[in-house]
């Protein structure tokens, strides 16, 4: 997009969706060890100011907190804290990830004193040179570095700020920033990727989860190795002394300078007798002794345990899921053992049951990523702030809004997150249609209203919505599934803006086929869509065009086949000029590639352009791997392409940047293995005049940096003027 910035003209807004980001904010809390069994909720203390989403927290040692205060006195002045308060424990500090700055997931520091909390970002303290731009940061810790021959303190953390040229490679690397000078060094060697750094108690070494063998599309179990290195190369004769110590491990946590706890995924066939290849991953926490190189399992089999936080050489706090659920949206009732809770295991007392920490607070809540406070007398964690979601401020609920503005890497393109499924905007950006997670309610929003347009009764399910590109048509198309069969029909809703709360669908497709992803030409007279109609087993899908967008296949309407082949052509959109159609396809998938991965598609999606008037002209635009021949160039996912309103760029979702966090640590992890994540939003500039000049474009632009999956997106001409309607307004009308 960079070549179009100079004209100073806005190129619209990209709307995107994160289906696994909790609808209600995450926040950070702590409770004592052991918690009181009589009044569990009052055991819990909120640790932040409650602004935005806050998670993945660590405590700040007193000496490091004093260094931060010396660098930025404003951190302490509003709380009235002094260095003496820090030394005596009256003032404490935390480093955590917050999403308060334009939706970026970046590190922030909180100082707590006298009942007050002051929060600053690392960019507030050290400036934008090292902590600026669109990026993701994670997992702050503190270690010892050197300036000349003098020891100094540093913060150790993960950042995605440095572009990686090789596709399907994580951008996550570990950095060290000197607390006194702000000088920043990269610890992860070039060409490698690390996650989850943990600093040793002495502050001289850091353990990381490293992609020693790269990333090849793993969804839940990343298969990283635990790698050890020095915090500063001056500590060991000019070398970081980087070396792997544990194969297949993640989320390290030091019990002492000699003991590291970590979690590991164990894969097994779900049902060996069935002959199916689907595997299930269980999780356990293990203990590694550096002196003996011995690994011992800490948590028992038959349950999941992950994200350890060491309390001592023998004690460790872990998040546990004692019974998995496969409920995709977690809408059904769950028992206590199906929630993620915090427990403490002690390897020195194997006959004693673990200490349950959070079960006495809310039994029906999920708790994530424990950390140790007050020398092990308290345990911290993050969870959805359910106790704040009903609070009112001047009569308005603080439940999150439909739209969240996000920081965009491009000055001429705005970016915002949508709290809905498959967002769809009218061509002029004045109207917005969406469905909620139940996939049964159609909502229409404009600057005057939010309207529940239709409520479907079970078993009808609305898969997606899209507006006719001609605003005069005022027509909305929906993909609707009815009954137990796998067929899906495209239906139209006319005169949407003038309709009352009930409208009638007009069916456009015939037969028991899977028809989806409709998109009209700019005139609004034709519809391109995906269908299985010439592949009876539903395995393959091609593109077709309805010659009449109002009657579809009925009456004198007809359908013309656009693409033809034993592959999947999907997620199509007509260009603003009407001459091309962009779509995602597996047509270049190698013959030897597996049919599925754990009964999911194995990828091999790329983006293509086809000439709408001459379907023999097809050009591959973007692949998930590095452009060129071979299976590795198209191994992953490039999906959901959409044109910019001026037709000069295409935005899409892709795993080009692999993953940016350990998936098992995140909300919805217990069902994440049932879906194939797409990754982040990217864009590519195209030649709008010569289709052949768009073959295998090398330069792509990363738009989002996130631990969450961005699954679908839309690009609207104008920035929406739709009011920020809270989600609880929708909930009250359901």
pLDDT given at position 366: 94
Q: 180-194, 272-286, 461-475 — which is least confidently predicted?
A: 272-286
The helix (H) or strand (E) run that includes residue 46 is: strand 45-46
> What is the spatial distance between Cα 140 and Cα 174, in angstroms, rounded to a whole number?
10
Does a structural domain hold residue 139? Answer: yes
* H, E, C per residue of 92-132: EEEEEEEEEECCEEEEEEEEEECCEEEEEEHHHHHCHHHHC
> What is the spatial distance between Cα 530 and Cα 540, in angstroms, rounded to a whole number?
10
Does a structural domain hold residue 249? Answer: yes
Q: What is the pLDDT of residues 29-48, one digit of tens each?
A: 999 998 876 666 678 999 99
CATH code, domain with 71:
2.120.10.30
pLDDT given at position 38: 62
pLDDT value at 300 more than 80: yes
Structural domains in the chain (count): 1
pLDDT given at position 389: 46
| Nearby residues of 571 by Cβ (< 8 Å), 6 or more positions away | 517, 530, 583, 584, 639, 640, 641
pLDDT given at position 505: 81
Q: What is the pLDDT of residues 515-554, one digit of tens each?
A: 999 999 999 999 999 999 998 776 899 999 999 999 999 9
- 109 or 421: which leads in pLDDT: 109
Does a structural domain hold residue 6? Answer: no
Burial degree of 388 (CB within 10 A; 0-12, 13-18, 19+): middle
Q: How many other C-beta atoms lie within 10 A of the C-beta of residue 276?
A: 12
| Nearby residues of 128 by Cβ (< 8 Å), 6 or more positions away | none
pLDDT given at position 387: 54
DSSP structural state of residue 470: S
pLDDT value at 392 more than 50: no
> What is the spatial distance between Cα 443 and Cα 721, in angstroms, rounded to a whole number?
16
pLDDT given at position 630: 54
| pLDDT average, residue stretch 346-364 | 93
pLDDT given at position 725: 52
Reported confidence tier of residue 217, pLDDT bands at 50, 70, 90: confident
Bridge partners (DSSP) of residue 210 are 194, 225
Q: How far apart are the first and last CA of the chain?
A: 41
pLDDT value at 335 more than 60: yes
Does a structural domain hold residue 276? Answer: yes
Secondary structure of the chain: what % helix, strand, coil (to 5)? 10, 40, 50
| pLDDT average, residue stretch 368-375 | 96
Does a structural domain hold residue 424? Answer: no
Does a structural domain hold residue 262? Answer: yes
| pLDDT average, residue stretch 67-94 | 92
Bridge partners (DSSP) of residue 462 are 480
Q: What is the pLDDT of residues 630-651, one digit of tens each?
A: 555 567 899 999 999 999 999 9
pLDDT given at position 676: 61
| Winning range, highest mean pLDDT, from 168-172, 430-434, 669-673 | 168-172
Reported confidence tier of residue 730, pLDDT bands at 50, 70, 90: very low
| pLDDT average, residue stretch 717-733 | 52
Catalogue the long-range contacts made by 83-86 (C-beta closer than 8 Å, 24 or more residues apart).
85/113, 86/62
Reported confidence tier of residue 717, pLDDT bands at 50, 70, 90: confident
Coil/strand/helix, residue 630? coil
**Residue range of the domain that includes 163:** 26-393
- Judge if pTM exceeds 0.75: yes
Reported confidence tier of residue 394, pLDDT bands at 50, 70, 90: very low
pLDDT value at 64 more than 60: yes
As given in the structure block, the two tokens for residue 151 are 């020891």
Q: What is the pLDDT of residues 118-173, one digit of tens each?
A: 999 999 999 999 899 999 999 999 998 765 555 689 999 999 999 999 999 999 99
CB–CB of 90/82 below 8 Å?
A: no
């Amino acid at each position: 997009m960079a070549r179009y910035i100079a004209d100073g003209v806005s190129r619209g807004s990209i709307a995107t969706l994160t289906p696994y980001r909790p609808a209600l904010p995450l926040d950070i809390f702590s409770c004592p060890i052991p918690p009181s069994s009589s009044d569990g909720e009052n055991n819990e203390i909120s640790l932040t100011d409650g602004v935005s989403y806050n998670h993945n927290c660590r405590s700040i040692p007193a000496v490091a907190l004093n260094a931060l205060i010396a660098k930025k006195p404003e951190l302490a002045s509003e709380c009235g804290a002094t260095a003496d308060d820090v030394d005596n424990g009256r003032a404490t500090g935390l480093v955590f990830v917050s999403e308060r700055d334009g939706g970026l997931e970046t590190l922030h520091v909180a100082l707590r004193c006298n009942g007050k909390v002051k929060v600053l970002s690392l960019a507030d303290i050290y400036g934008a040179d090292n902590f600026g731009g669109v990026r993701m940061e994670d997992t702050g810790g503190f270690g010892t570095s050197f300036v000349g021959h003098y020891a100094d303190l540093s913060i150790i953390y993960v950042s995605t700020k440095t572009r990686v040229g090789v596709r399907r490679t994580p951008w996550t690397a570990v950095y060290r920033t000197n607390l006194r000078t702000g000088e920043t060094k990269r610890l992860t060697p070039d060409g490698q990727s690390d996650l989850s750094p943990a600093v040793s108690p002495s502050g001289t070494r850091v353990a990381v989860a490293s992609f020693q063998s790269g990333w090849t599309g793993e969804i839940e179990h990343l298969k990283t190795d635990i790698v050890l290195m020095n915090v500063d190369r001056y500590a060991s004769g000019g070398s970081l002394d980087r070396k792997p110590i544990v194969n297949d491990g993640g989320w390290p946590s030091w019990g002492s300078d000699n003991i590291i706890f970590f979690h590991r995924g164990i894969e097994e066939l779900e049902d060996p007798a069935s002959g199916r290849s689907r595997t299930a991953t269980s999780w356990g926490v293990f203990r590694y002794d550096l002196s003996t190189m011995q690994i011992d399992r800490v948590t028992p089999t038959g349950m999941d345990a992950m994200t350890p936080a060491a309390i001592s050489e023998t004690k460790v706090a872990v998040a546990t899921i004692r019974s998995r659920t496969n409920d995709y949206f977690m809408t059904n009732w769950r028992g206590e053992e199906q929630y993620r809770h915090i427990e403490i295991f002690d390897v020195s007392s194997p006959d004693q049951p673990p200490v349950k920490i959070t079960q006495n607070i809310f039994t029906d809540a999920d708790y994530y990523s424990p950390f140790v406070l007050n020398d092990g007398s308290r345990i911290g964690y993050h969870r959805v702030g359910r106790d704040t979601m009903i609070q009112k401020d001047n009569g308005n609920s603080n439940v999150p809004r439909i739209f969240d503005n996000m920081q965009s890497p491009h000055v001429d393109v705005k970016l915002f997150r949508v709290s809905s499924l498959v967002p769809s905007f009218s061509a002029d950006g004045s109207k917005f249609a969406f469905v909620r997670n139940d996939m049964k309610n159609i909502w229409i929003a404009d600057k005057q209203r939010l309207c529940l347009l239709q409520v479907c009764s079970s078993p009808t399910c609305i898969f997606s919505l899209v507006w006719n590109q001609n605003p005069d048509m005022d027509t909305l198309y929906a993909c609707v599934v009815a009954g137990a069969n796998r067929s899906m029909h495209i239906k139209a809703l006319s005169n949407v803006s003038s309709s009352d709360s009930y409208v009638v669908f007009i069916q456009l497709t015939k037969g028991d086929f899977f028809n989806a992803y409709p998109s009209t030409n700019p005139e609004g007279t034709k519809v391109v869509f995906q269908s299985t109609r010439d592949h009876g087993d539903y395995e393959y899908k091609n593109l077709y065009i309805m010659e009449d967008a109002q009657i579809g296949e009925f009456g004198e309407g007809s359908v013309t086949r656009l693409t033809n082949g034993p592959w999947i052509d999907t997620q199509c959109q007509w260009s603003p000029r009407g001459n091309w159609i962009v779509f995602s396809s597996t047509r270049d998938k190698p013959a030897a590639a597996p049919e599925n991965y754990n009964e999911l598609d194995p990828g091999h999606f790329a983006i293509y352009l086809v000439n709408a008037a001459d379907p023999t002209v097809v050009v591959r635009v973007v692949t998930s791997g590095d452009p060129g021949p071979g299976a590795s160039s198209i191994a992953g996912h490039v999906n959901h392409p959409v044109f910019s309103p001026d037709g000069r760029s295409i935005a899409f979702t892709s795993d080009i940047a692999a993953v940016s966090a350990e998936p098992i640590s995140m909300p919805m992890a217990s069902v994440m293995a049932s879906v194939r994540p797409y990754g982040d939003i990217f864009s590519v500039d195209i030649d709008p005049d010569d289709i052949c000049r768009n073959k295998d474009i090398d330069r792509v632009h990363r738009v989002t940096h996130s631990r969450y999956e961005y699954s679908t997106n839309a690009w609207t001409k104008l920035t929406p003027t739709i009011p920020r309607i809270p989600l609880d307004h929708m909930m009250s009308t359901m």
